Amino acid sequence: MSTIDSVLTENRVFPPADAFVGQANISGRAAYDAMCAEATNDPENFWARLARENLSWATPFTRTLDESQAPFYKWFDDGTLNVSWNCLDRHLENGNADKTAIIFERDDGTSERVTYRALHARVAQFANGIAALGYKKGDRAIIYLPMSIEAVVAMQACARLGVIHSVVFGGFSAKSLQERIADVGATLVITADEQVRGGKTIPLKPAVDEAFSMGGCDAVTNVIVYRRTGGNVAWNEGRDRWMHDVTAGQPETAPAVPVEAEHPLFILYTSGSTGKPKGVQHASAGFLLWAQLTVKWTFDLKPDDVFWCTADVGWITGHTYIAYGPLAAGATQVIFEGVPTYPNAGRFWDMIARHKVSIFYTAPTAIRSLIKAADNQPDHHPDKYDLSSLRLIGSVGEPINPEAWMWYYKNVGGERCPIVDTWWQTETGGHMITPLPGVTPLKPGSCTLPLPGIAAAIVDETGGDVELGKGGFLVVKRPWPAMIRTIWGDPERFKKSYYPEELGGTYYLAGDGANRDTDGYFWIMGRIDDVLNVSGHRLGTMEVESALVAHPLVAEAAVVGRPDDLTGEAVVAFVVLKQERPDGEEAKAIAKTLREWVGREIGPIAKPKEIRFGDNLPKTRSGKIMRRLLRVVAKGETVTQDVSTLENPAILDQLGKAL
């Protein structure tokens, strides 16, 4: 509640500097208003114009939007193109072959530069290599790779052939990997021997082997392994092959297979309000259009910029703003293998100075941890580094509290760089509500206004508009090209999750609560469903509960979020064991076991920060767990709500005590 109060009373406003406005790709409020008017008055023409101006089509489209199967919208659906061609080949044709596409910095501080010509050659060789193994349009490949040029090469090579990729974040466990391999029906897995982060090596290939041992992976005929460290790996002859063997001798050009605009480009799993992660399916043309446009609009990308998005390619941010958007826009970008605090808390600032980064995009969690680290390591405070190359900075993934915003603005942006606080989701494909740096006066903590073409609104539980200043559900009233197309293999769940009948069935329901102030600015209040946001990572409470109850000691579990200064939200689990409620050292030991168990079932990011044991959980007489009350208890607050419907009110006292 305190953050909500503080953001709603936030009244500092930072208008864009005249110099920035003068050079911006979208310059001044009148330009923004004109684009919004065009999009509102004639949306089909607006999107068709942008798609024709910005993408290179193999077959031009004649139909812009097909709403006949709504909410299964189709965009530009009689056109064909190739995403990789748009990201690579067209830059070779327009004289940018020798421009640096990627500056890759390894964990140890060494770096490598790759031009568009060289990246194109590497993508072509790998595409030829996997085509030679028999992979073709429509097949599914799981990519389980660390941050590397090879990760981008693998994604682009899939796109070149029309192979649908599904990237699994390297921090996910073997179990999570196995579930995704099976659900997506993958026939190819691309991984690495190990990853290197913060001076340590972490094995990846063994997780793939373990996933196979769990079953459900029989359709996979090849596991391609990128040799990152040369660490020891077990080898399955006939199935496993080195990436360098797959590419060896392959030509440096490869056909870019034209695919229908609606052909799935990728499937990315994300957490929802039930236990099973959802495979969010994105289409080729619409996604690419928005990835490229938002790089130009929100980040104001210019030919000489050096762009750096610190996300991992395992998340949507790394898809849109590393693997596709910057390349489609012809940018030079930094890709980083390591972590922000190694070898010290100045790593990001040092990299910005060395690579002359001009646009920097990171998450509030990173900013909050670096604020703390800068206090502890004053020699690595951003003011010790030359950050004068920066001209724009951005934030993504979770609400940024005004205090962190101000620190970022002053210490990183030098009170000169606009901050773009970008609200969007795995499902939206790209930015939705965000300041435009040459247009929007900034308010710390607000993601400000929707982009042109994005009909964002706040409604009540029946779908009616709420007045400014009143909170409600964040929705998008009209379709947009980069939107989720369906949940892989589960169209019914897609409809139910995002187009609920209660709201009339035509609005996209984001799952966030939001508020608008009298200037029409949006303030995101967090999720309205059972989804948590821990360090910018989306996590379903039900997923963690399912993992806990899968442990032989556990009878029942309920998981809630608690506000956390560093991670935004923290996972708190209330657990009933099959044995008597433990206390003292025994309780601590079991809690440790269960935390590790969750780490193995899902991944380290899902480990509960705190576990509390009870004889039971607070339930209504009909047996429903009262999570609302558990959220109060988890915060250490006294329950003041009416508990008369509870079967067992005394349990709240027991659960109120931390171990």
Binding-site residues from annotation for Mg(2+):
549, 551, 554
Extract the annotated binding site for CoA: 197-200, 317, 535
Q: Which is nearer to ligand PRX, 397 or 479 (CB)?
A: 397
CB of 377 to ligand PRX, least distance (A): 27
Minimum distance, C-beta of residue 363 to ligand PRX, in the bound complex (Å): 8
- Sort strands 259-260 and 240-242 into parallel, antiparallel or unpaired: unpaired
Given the complex with ligand PRX, which of 474 and 594 has the nearer CB atom? 474
493-498 long-range contacts (CB < 8 A, ≥24 apart) are 493/278, 494/71, 494/72, 495/71, 497/272, 497/273, 497/278, 498/71, 498/427
Compute the least distance from the CB of residue 524 to ligand PRX, in Å. 4
Ordered strands of the 419-422 beta sheet: 111-115, 100-105, 332-336, 306-309, 359-362, 392-396, 419-422
Q: Return the number of the residue (21 or 316) whose C-beta is nearest ligand PRX.
A: 316
DSSP assignment letter at 423:
B
Q: How far is the CB of 593 from ligand PRX (least distance, A)?
A: 29
- Which own/partner contact pairs does 36-43 have at CB distance under 8 Å and 24+ positions apart? 36/452, 36/453, 38/452, 39/452, 39/453, 40/455, 43/453, 43/478
Whether 429 contacts 282, CB under 8 Å: yes
Shortest reach from residue 268's CB to ligand PRX, in Å: 9
How far is Cα 144 from Cα 165, in angstroms, rounded to an integer? Answer: 10
Task: Report the nearest approach of ligand PRX to the CB of residue 552 (Å).
Answer: 32
CB of 324 to ligand PRX, least distance (A): 14
Three-state SS for 78-125 is: CCEECHHHHHHHHHHHCCCCCCEEEEEECCCCCEEEEEHHHHHHHHHH
332 near ligand PRX, rule: CB under 6 A: no
Q: Nearer Cβ to ligand PRX, position 82 or 425?
A: 425
**CA angle (184 as vertex; 178, 190 as ends), nearest 5:** 65
DSSP state of 28: S
Walk across the sheet containing 486-487 and list its strands. Answer: 240-242, 222-226, 188-192, 140-144, 164-167, 264-270, 278-283, 486-487
C-beta of 311: minimal distance to ligand PRX in Å?
8
Q: Is 426 in the site for ligand PRX (CB under 6 A)?
A: yes
Using CB under 6 A as the binding criterion, the count of chain residues that bind ligand PRX stands at 21
Structure tokens at 426: 């795995």
Hey, what amino acid is at 213?
S
Residues 6+ apart with CB under 8 A from 245: none
Q: Does 605 bind ligand PRX (CB under 6 A)?
A: no
Residue list for the binding site: 197-200, 317, 397-399, 421-426, 512, 527, 535, 538, 549, 551, 554
Among 385, 342, 333, 341, CA closest to 365:
341
Which region, judged by CB under 6 A, interacts with ligand PRX, from 18-26, 41-49, 221-229, 415-423? 415-423
Q: What's phi and psi for 657, nearest 5 deg?
A: -95, 125
448 binds ligand PRX (CB under 6 A): no
Residue 422 interacts with ligand PRX (CB under 6 A)?
A: yes
User: Which residue's C-beta sits nearest to ligand PRX?
Assistant: 426
Q: In a 3-state reduction of DSSP, which class is residue 246?
A: helix
Mark 199-228 with x for binding to ligand PRX (rule: CB under 6 A) and - for no binding: ------------------------------
**Contact region with ligand PRX (CB under 6 A), list: 62-70, 185-193, 508-516, 646-654:** 508-516
Q: Which of 447, 456, 571, 630 binds ligand PRX (CB under 6 A)?
A: 447
Q: Closer to ligand PRX at the Cβ: 128 or 428?
A: 428
Q: For residue 108, how many other CB atoms are within 10 A of its CB?
A: 12
Instruction: Report the residue from 71, 435, 511, 603 that binds ligand PRX according to the rule CB under 6 A.
Output: 511
What is the pattern of x (binds ligand PRX, CB under 6 A) and - over residues 256-295? --------------x-------------------------
Instruction: Kindly tell me which of 123 and 510 has the beta carbon lying closer to ligand PRX.
Output: 510
346 lines the binding site for ligand PRX (CB under 6 A): no
Query: Contact letters (x/-) for ligand PRX, 513-542, by CB under 6 A?
Result: -----------x--x-----x----x----
Residue 248, judged by CB atoms within 10 A of its CB (0-12, 13-18, 19+), counts as: exposed
H/E element, 493: helix 491-498
Residue 220: closest CA among 190, 245, 189: 189
Among 423, 494, 498, 574, binds ligand PRX (CB under 6 A): 423
| Spatial distance between the Cα atoms of 599 and 574, rounded to a whole number of angstroms | 17
Q: Specify the stretch interacting with ligand PRX by CB under 6 A; choose among 84-92, 145-153, 192-200, 506-514.
A: 506-514
Stretch that binds ligand PRX, among 8-16, 54-62, 128-136, 416-424 (CB under 6 A): 416-424
Closest CB to ligand PRX among residues 124, 531: 531
Binding track over 301-330 against ligand PRX, x by CB under 6 A: ---------------xx-------------
Residues that bind ligand PRX (CB under 6 A): 270, 316-317, 396-399, 421-426, 447, 510-512, 524, 527, 533, 538
